[in-house]
């Protein structure tokens, strides 16, 4: 029963993929109620982008960030919302066949946990992440290996678009001079570059 429901949660994710062809996780097995993980996956597809994913109520809410995150609070990064991904996707690093949806190489570029920054004066959560998501304005503190500190993710008012903006908050971790996207390009999970993942993970069809 619970599994059926979680599958339904991922309907769009499943519809886009042929799991006989892609090594991406099917999902629906792990479903934490209170998890707070995030992952940023560097995705060398038809155009290179960074997939930013936040665990909210058992799924990874997902946005494609063409330029990746920035630590500069004066820069706003476009983040285009994509379909929910299963929690298991956070550990996925590998190659999606070229003829499949999202074909290309996926790297776990950064990962960690986060904290909801919607809090009242007593430090109690004043709004759940789900409510904040539905309101189109999330604020959270990332605790990754490369990316740390407060961020806002704000839905733009453009109608019919899934466009959000990812903005660094002004705090101790804000730093316009540091650019982890270029200075720390490799996987936080395996230490590999996109080229190394591509070389080692492609052509692994078991037929």
Give the binding site for Mn ion (CB under 5 A): 43, 51
Cβ atoms < 10 Å from Cβ of 127: 18
Q: CA–CA separation, 84 vs 126, rounded Å?
A: 24
Show Cβ contacts of residue 55 under 8 Å, excluding neighbours closer than 6 positions: 32, 35, 36, 37, 38, 61, 87, 90
CA atoms within 13 A on the CB side of 131: 8
Report the residue number whose CB is nearest to Mn ion. 43
């Amino acid at each position: 029963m619970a599994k059926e429901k979680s599958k339904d949660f991922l309907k769009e994710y499943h519809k886009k993929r042929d799991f006989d062809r892609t090594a991406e996780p099917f999902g629906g097995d792990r479903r934490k109620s209170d998890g707070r993980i995030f992952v940023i996956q560097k995705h060398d597809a038809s155009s290179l982008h960074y997939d930013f994913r936040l665990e909210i109520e058992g799924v990874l809410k997902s946005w494609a960030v063409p330029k990746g995150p920035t630590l500069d609070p004066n820069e706003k990064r476009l983040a285009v919302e994509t379909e929910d991904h299963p929690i298991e996707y956070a550990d996925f690093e590998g190659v999606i066949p070229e003829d499949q949806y999202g074909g290309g190489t996926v790297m776990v570029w950064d990962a960690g946990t986060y904290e909801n920054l919607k809090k009242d004066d007593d430090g109690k959560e004043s709004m759940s992440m789900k409510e904040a998501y539905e309101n189109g304005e999330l604020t959270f503190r990332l605790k990754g290996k490369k990316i740390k500190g407060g961020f806002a993710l704000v839905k733009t008012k453009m109608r019919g678009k899934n466009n959000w903006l990812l903005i660094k908050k002004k705090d101790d971790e804000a730093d316009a001079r540091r650019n982890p996207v270029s200075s720390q390009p490799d996987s936080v999970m395996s230490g590999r570059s996109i080229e190394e993942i591509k070389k080692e993970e492609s052509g692994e069809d078991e037929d």
